[in-house]
């Protein structure tokens, strides 16, 4: 079954850190760019980061101020997002998505998301 399953979300205090994971199955994970997108409660979609097939090329949204680190493990078919120095405005549902850049197709497969809540 072709799917993405996120995990690692939860309630975190401001200033804390969290590592989100996305497990891919049913498709050749190493052949695809991958991305993270987030959505604050009641708000729109915000692109967070892309990572290339090998993990060598990485890009982040300018607004994220260097607190986010995307990575992937192609041997384990997994994508990760490390978020440091968490702030209240990082509270959001975090989605991973497959990005078919080689075919000019953006996010055609999404996970169900993992919720991150930052609160004291």
Partner 1 sequence: DIQMTQSPSTLSASVGDIITITCRASQTINNWLAWYQQKPGKVPKLLIYKASTLESGVPSRFSGSGYGTTFTLTIGGLQPDDFATYYCQHYNSYSGTFGQGTKVEMK
* Segment 46 to 105, residues that bind partner 1, using CB under 8 A: 46-47, 50, 52, 57, 59, 61-63, 95, 99, 101, 104-105
Q: Which of 11, 45 has the CB closer to partner 1?
A: 45
Should residue 113 be labelled a site residue for partner 1 when binding is judged by CB under 8 A? yes
- Please tell me the distance from the alpha carbon of residue 11 to that of residue 103, in angstroms, as a whole number: 37
User: What x-and-dash track marks residues 9-48 binding partner 1 by CB under 8 A?
Assistant: ------------------------x-x-x------xxxx-
- Please tell me the distance from the alpha carbon of residue 34 to that of residue 12, in angstroms, as a whole number: 25
Q: Which of 18, 34 has the CB closer to partner 1?
A: 34
Q: Which of 52, 74 has the CB closer to partner 1?
A: 52
> What secondary structure, in 3-state letters, does the chain show?
CCEEEEECCEEECCCCCEEEEEEEECCCHHHCEEEEEEECCCCCEEEEEEECCCCCCEEECHHHCCCEEEEEECCCCEEEEEECCCCHHHCEEEEEEEEEHHHCEEEEEECCCEEEEECC
Q: Which of 111, 116 has the CB closer to partner 1?
A: 111
Footprint of partner 1 (CB under 8 A): 33, 35, 37, 44-47, 50, 52, 57, 59, 61-63, 95, 99, 101, 104-108, 110-113
């Amino acid at each position: 079954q072709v799917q993405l399953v996120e995990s690692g979300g939860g309630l975190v205090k401001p200033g804390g850190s969290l590592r989100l994971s996305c497990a891919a199955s049913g498709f050749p994970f190493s052949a695809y760019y991958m991305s993270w997108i987030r959505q604050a409660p009641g708000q729109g979609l915000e692109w967070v980061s892309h990572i290339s097939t090998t993990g060598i090329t990485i890009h982040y949204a300018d607004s994220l101020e260097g607190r986010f680190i995307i990575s992937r493990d192609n041997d384990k078919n997994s994508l990760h997002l490390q978020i440091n120095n968490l702030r209240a405005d990082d509270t959001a549902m975090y989605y991973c998505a497959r990005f078919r850049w080689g075919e000019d197709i953006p996010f055609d497969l999404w996970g169900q998301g993992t919720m991150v809540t930052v609160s004291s």
